[in-house]
Amino acid sequence: MGISIVVTSGKGGVGKTTTTANVSTVLASLGKKVCMVDLDIGLRNLDAVMGLTNRIVYDIVDVAQHRVVVSQALVRDPRFEDNLYLLAASQFADKYVLDKDSVGSIVGELKQRFDFVMIDCPAGIEYGFQNAVSIADGALVVTNPEVASVSDADRVVGILENMNMPITPHLIINRIRKNMINEGTSMKIDDIVNHLGIPLLGIVIDEDRVISASNSGRTVAFDQYSEAGRSYQNIARRMLGEDIPLDLSDHTKKVGFWGRVFGKK
């Protein structure tokens, strides 16, 4: 019996889908059986980020309406042998065709087969969000170091706490700008963690490679030159219980003597 984890944020555009894709692929590469479920009905993205769009024949709405069984709708990612599957959202139906019961039974069935069921939640805190979080055992709350995003994450953490999930929600701070940390103009990581009051699972810097990787249907986690990719590797390993210290200094640029003399940024 596996566990279901919802990746959520409240605010849109903070990196829920990227986080889902990266964490899932790393877990799969570490030998876990992982199924990604896209619940963003009508605005699905997870398939595009994974480069699996062309393989989708049936989606979660077909399963919920009993046109096919779950195993028929699962899309296997050929790059991860038999470890990684995707259950895509529908691009044609609207979100009200799903309800808590149907999503719950689908995820329940997937939990029998997989170690991790990673649920990509839609932005907002309305109907689609409620469906996604109501059936999850745990949550990854993704936020960016900016006031609007942290404030929305705060609202989401409040809702999640009322649900008494078996696993406490964990925090991922995404899109950290190196240059702003160096200049001291960014929100402080410690302040965000203290403000939200949930355990920090990892931090990921903002990097062009993340975008270029997903544009070509790959995940940045397997880009050996990417710091963000390494951060996602660490996040997945921490989820499996490995003790990997958080080290912010890895991300900040050390300014050498000559840099200081010439004021290079």
Partner 1 sequence: MSDIILKGGKEGFSVIIDEKANYVDAFKELKEMIMKQNVESTNKDEDVIKFTIKTGNRLLNDDQKDEIREFFEKYPQLELVDIESDVEAKDTVQEFLDKNKTNIESGIVRSGQKLVYQGDLIFLGTLHRDAQICATGSVYILGEVNGIVQAGYPDNTGASILGNLENIDQLRIADVIEIVTEDNKADFQNGKFAFIDDLHSISVDNLTNYKDRLNDLRKRTG
Task: Restricting to residues 53-82, name those near partner 1 by CB under 8 A.
Answer: 53-55, 57
Residue placing its CB nearer to partner 1 in the complex, 40 or 152: 40
Query: How many angstroms separate the most distant Cα atoms in the chain?
Result: 68
Which residues does residue 120 pair with via DSSP β-bridges, in sequence order? 7, 38
Residue placing its CB nearer to partner 1 in the complex, 47 or 152: 47
Distance in Å, CB of 58 to partner 1, minimum: 10
Distance in Å, CB of 103 to partner 1, minimum: 20
Structure token pair of residue 177: 């700008």
Task: Please choose, out of 2-10, 46-54, 118-126, 229-237, the segment that lies near partner 1 by the rule CB under 8 A.
Answer: 46-54
In 3-state terms, what secondary structure has residue 8? Answer: strand
Q: Decide if residue 211 touches partner 1 (CB under 8 A).
A: no
Q: Decide if residue 42 touches partner 1 (CB under 8 A).
A: yes
CA distance 230 to 220: 9
* The total number of residues written for the chain in this structure: 265
Angle subtended at Cα 124 by Cα 75 and Cα 133, rounded to the nearest 5 degrees:
60
Residue placing its CB nearer to partner 1 in the complex, 79 or 113: 79
Distance in Å, CB of 73 to partner 1, minimum: 13
Q: Decide if residue 48 touches partner 1 (CB under 8 A).
A: yes
Place of tokens 């903070």: 14
- Residue 226: CB partners within 8 Å, gap ≥ 6? 207, 209, 210, 213, 220
Q: Decide if residue 92 touches partner 1 (CB under 8 A).
A: yes
Residues that bind partner 1 (CB under 8 A): 42, 44, 48, 53-55, 57, 91-92
